[in-house]
Every structure is written in structure tokens, then in C-alpha cells.
Structure 1
Amino acid sequence: MHPDSGQGRVAVAVVTGAGRGIGAGLAAALSARGHHLVVTDVDAEAARATAEALDGPATAMPLDVRDASAHRAVALAAADLGDVTVWVNNAGVLSTAPAWEASDEDVAATFEINTIGLVHGCRAAVSVMRRGDVLNVVSLSGLGPTPGFATYGASKAAALSYSQALDIELAAARRPVRVRALCPDVVDTSLVSNVAHRPSAALLFTGTRLLSVDEVVDAGMGMLGSRRALRTVPAWRAALQRTSAALPGMARVAVPFVARLGERRRLSR
């Protein structure tokens, strides 16, 4: 049975960056709930592989999230399949380097994908959704300073601010579309393994362990249909990030010390 769309039609879910990792996990979880999945990724073959692995009906579409018109095309195609009740903006890139060494290309791609891409996705989702949830996968790094990840953290902070403002605007307009922001700590995915060799990635390894994809998927799925607009995983790490933001003088002393601990753990992997 498909979940009730409220209109007697098939309920459709769109997931961006669903070729692997968290996006693929969320697509599988939503498919298990009975949604028709629209699986998108900049890597068309990866999107197709995810779609083919799902138990339920799925449509794979290539999507470069930097392209606003491509988002609109996905939204219209999804709306043709049924009622879009879930839209997940998951696509993202992870860059790590001292702020002054970040390349022009990395800075541009980080903001265009992590921030502008999420904004485009939200706008496309709202244009076709009558009701339901927009789930934005953000990051704990958007809550406070993350040395080595200045560009990445700033892109996620902007994405979080946009998500929260949009949720408030939709509520004020009495539109039954909720925007949910999920902020996980470091997740054991290829995004992390691809930068783990860099000394600037030290803060990735300051926690007790990396989160699993399943943990993040469970947290995100739990937000759908709930009143919870923001969830951090784990909460204690979020508290540290917020403290660093609120007490920059203390953070200037403490964060480099913590980063040295992370560097030792990174080298011991």
C-alpha cells in the first residue's frame, strides 16, 4: 500500500544526491514506507543503480543541484507521478583546507551545491507540494566554527538559516508544508573517506566514533510528520558547537587543542 497522499493518489518522494550514502539510505527507507521514489544524482548511473535496488516503484533522474531549471523539471516530473509529499535535499560536497588555501573552484562548488543547490531544491519542492515535509540534510558544522572546514561550515550555516526561515514563512502563510533540518555529526561515507588523508580534516575525528548511515537515516525519517523542525545527532556534540559559536574567545583556545586530538586519531586510523 502507498502512504495516503491525502488526495487518493500515489505519494511521491524526491531525494537528491541519492546515488550513494545517506541519500541512498533515505531513498530505501522512504520506498519501504510505500512512496514512489524519484531518485536523483549528478551521477546518472548511480541514481539508476539506487532506483533499481529499491523494493518499490522508482524513477531515476540525473540532477545537478546547481541548476534551478533542472530542479523544476524534476519537480514537475515527480508531480506527474502523484502527490509529492516528501522532498529530501541531501546532495552535498565536503571540502577541507585552511581557509586561505581553499581553491576558487572548491569555494564556488561548496556554496553552489551545499547552499544554492538546497535553496533551489526547496523552491522547486514548495512549488509542487500541497502538503508534507521538506527534509534538508545539513550538518553540525553549521552550528559553530569548524577550523579546516571554514567554507564547508559557512555553506551549511547558510543552508540551516534558510531552512529555518522557510519553515517559519510557510507556517505564517498557513501552508501545510514543513521544512525539517537534520544536522548530523561526521558520517562514515565516501565524502569523509575521500578527505581523511588531509591534516585539515582533523576535526572529523574528534568525536568518539563516526555515525553510521543507518543512524542518520533513522533520525531523518523520525522527523517526517513530526513537530521537530531541527534535530542534531548526537545532541552533545551540537552543544559543543553552539558553545564555540557563543564564546569565540574560548573557542579560539579550545578548538585547536581538540583538533590536535583529532589529528592523532586521524593518523592512527
Structure 2
Amino acid sequence: MRVRDSVVVITGASSGIGRVTALAFARKGCAVVLAARREKALRAVARECERHRGARALAVPTDVTDGRAVDDLARRATERFGRVDVWVDAAAVTVFAPFQEVPLDDFRRVLDVNVMGYVHGARAALRVMREQGRGTLVNVSSIVGVVTQPYTHAYGMSKHAVRALGSSLRQELPLDGAEDVHVCTVLPATIDTPLFEHAANYTGRKAVAMPPVHSPERVARTVVRLVRTPRREVVVGPMGRSMVLQSRITSGTVEGMMAHQAHRTHLSREEPAPPSHGNLHAPAPGAGAAHGGWGGRRRTAVRRLATATLLAGAAAGLAHRAGAR
């Protein structure tokens, strides 16, 4: 499908991957419909999008956990622009905590945003796309939808669910004669976004981006390419691709490696953090941001080296223990 002049709806558009994806489509001359809870941030993104020649933007404050609000988002998009060519579900929240210490209200909220938010988005998008006879739904999952990690149980569960939703829809749509409606799932590795700053946290340690860290622009480019050439699932980031591939061969070893890496590098050893609900129940203040400050070539290179060393050490340790048995 041609990207230019497409009408694109994006949830989670106030920050991170959603925000950068909106800008990527705006640069292609698309009409972008921006959805998130923060109206001030959405207005800022809309102004930035409209600076690109030919781009049009509509900001629609939306809580994706509210199915009626998401239906209204689709209605406003079609009333304003006549159709929906692409729908990108990118809204996500997370909580860091040992399993027994996660407040159940926070656990449910992560699942409500990251799973039911995508369900609401898919229902609204596919209703329009089936009528049109064409369209592309892109769901942003994560490599933790394949290789889970400790301390983010609800997030990992949600990202597995997003993959399952995409797979089921891809099976069902052709059976209903909707061969030109595509469902794609994107699985990013660690991305430089404000997610970690906004996360709920009950570990006592500051949540940091687990290396290696990739730019949200990398994910946005992948999403744009999927509109031109739809694919079932795409992993973003070479380390992520390596771990996903290896998990299919030696799942136990990769599970252990991820446990070591998350414990040592996902939570700061130097910076404590007080208990916090993060942005789960109320949006973060301010105009939003695309990046979280975890990028930079030198920092990324150092983190990649540290990660490779850590993974090699973890693999060796696991192999030694396996041999000892």
C-alpha cells in the first residue's frame, strides 16, 4: 500500500514510539490522528507534525482502556478524513516489582492498557477497514513477548497477549474474505523512550533502560515499511533478533540469560527509587517527549559491549551448571 497521503491513527502518540511514529508518517505527507491521555502533549505533537509539508493532524485525547472513547476516536478520524488506512496501537505502561509486591490494582491497570487497549483499538480499526475492504493494523509488542524477564510480569504477559491477538486476527480475517486487511506485530528490543521514567516501581531501585538501547526512530521506520510491505512479525534490534532466534533453540538458556541481564542492568545499583504508581492511573505531566535520554552512540556502544559480556558470562555459567548436573 502507498504510504503518502494515508490516514494514520496512532495510540500512545504523546511520547516514545507513538510520538516518533506520528512524525515519521507526517514526513510522508500523511494525515495523522493522534491519541493519548495528555491533551497538552498531543497538541504539541500535532503542531510538530503539521510543520511537515502536506501533513495534517488531529489530536483526540483518548484513554484506550475506555472502549467507547476508542470507538469515538475511529469515528472522528473517519469524519475528518473519510477513512482509516493505518492504525498503530502503541500505548503502553509498565510496573517494576517482585511478583508478590505488585499492587493488584497496578497489575490490572497494565493489562487493561496494554491488552484491552489493543483489543479496543483492533475492534475499532477493523470495523472501518472491513467496510473499506483494505487497511493495515500494526500492534507494537516487544521481544519480552517472546523472551520474558523478571520484575515486569504484567508487561511481559501483555506483550505475549498482543502477539496472540495478532496471530488470531491474521487467521480470522482471510476466512471472512478480508484478504486486503493486514495485521502486523512489531517486537522492539529496548528503546530509548520515557517508559522507564514513567513506570510504576516497587523495587527500591531506579528502573533504567536495559542495554543495548535503540532509537524510537528505528521502530518508526519499521512501522512505515510494514505499510508498504506487510509482514506477520518483525523484531527491531539485532540483539533482540538474536535472542528471539536463540530462544527457539535453547529456550531455557535464554531464559536464564535474560534473568541475569534484567537483574543486573534493568535496575540501577546506585540510584534508589521510592515506591510509585508512575503514570499508570494518571498521565505524566508536561508536553511529553520522544526520547528518554538513554541513547547516544558512545553510550549505546558501551552498553552493547557490556551486554555482550554479560550474556556470554551468563551463558557460560548456565552451561557449567547444566554440565554439573
TM, length-normalised to structure 1: 0.86
Match of 1:257 in 2: 260
Residue 41 of structure 1: how far off its partner (Å): 0.8
CA separation of 1:121/1:16 partners in 2, compared to 1, >3 Å: closer, same or farther? same
Match of 1:31 in 2: 26
CA distance in 2: counterparts of 1:14 and 1:227, whole angstroms: 17
* Aligned: 1:155 with 2:154: no
Instruction: Tell me if the contact between 2:67 and 2:120 (Cα under 8 Å) persists in the aligned partners.
Output: yes
Residue 180 of structure 1: how far off its partner (Å): 0.8
In the TM superposition, structure 1's runs of 4+ consecutive aligned residues that sit over 4 Å from their partners are 195-204, 241-249, 263-269
Instruction: Tell me if the contact between 2:19 and 2:45 (Cα under 8 Å) persists in the aligned partners.
Output: yes
Larger radius of gyration: 2
Identity %: 30
Match of 1:187 in 2: 191
CA distance in 1: counterparts of 2:168 and 2:10, whole angstroms: 21
CA separation of 1:137/1:266 partners in 2, compared to 1, >3 Å: closer, same or farther? farther
Residue 158 of structure 1: how far off its partner (Å): 0.5
Residue 247 of structure 1: how far off its partner (Å): 5.2
Match of 2:64 in 1: 65
Residue 245 of structure 1: how far off its partner (Å): 7.5
Instruction: Tell me if the contact between 1:146 and 1:203 (Cα under 8 Å) persists in the aligned partners.
Output: no
Residue 239 of structure 1: how far off its partner (Å): 4.0
Instruction: Tell me if the contact between 1:48 and 1:61 (Cα under 8 Å) persists in the aligned partners.
Output: no
| Residue aligned with 2:9, SS | strand
CA separation of 1:254/1:170 partners in 2, compared to 1, >3 Å: closer, same or farther? same
Match of 1:89 in 2: 89
CA separation of 1:210/1:144 partners in 2, compared to 1, >3 Å: closer, same or farther? same
Match of 2:99 in 1: 99
What amino acid is the match of 1:14? V
Match of 1:76 in 2: 75
CA separation of 1:158/1:50 partners in 2, compared to 1, >3 Å: closer, same or farther? same
User: RMSD value over aligned CA atoms?
Assistant: 2.7
CA distance in 2: counterparts of 1:106 and 1:215, whole angstroms: 30
CA distance in 1: counterparts of 2:73 and 2:266, whole angstroms: 42
Question: CA-to-partner distance for each residue in 1:54-75, whole Å, 9 max, x for gaps?
Answer: 1321111110000111111111
Gaps of 5+ in 2: 272-293, 295-325
CA separation of 1:248/1:224 partners in 2, compared to 1, >3 Å: closer, same or farther? same
Match of 2:115 in 1: 115
Residue 211 of structure 1: how far off its partner (Å): 1.0
CA separation of 1:85/1:199 partners in 2, compared to 1, >3 Å: closer, same or farther? same
CA distance in 2: counterparts of 1:95 and 1:246, whole angstroms: 30
Q: 1:52 aligns with which of 47, 62, 67?
A: 47
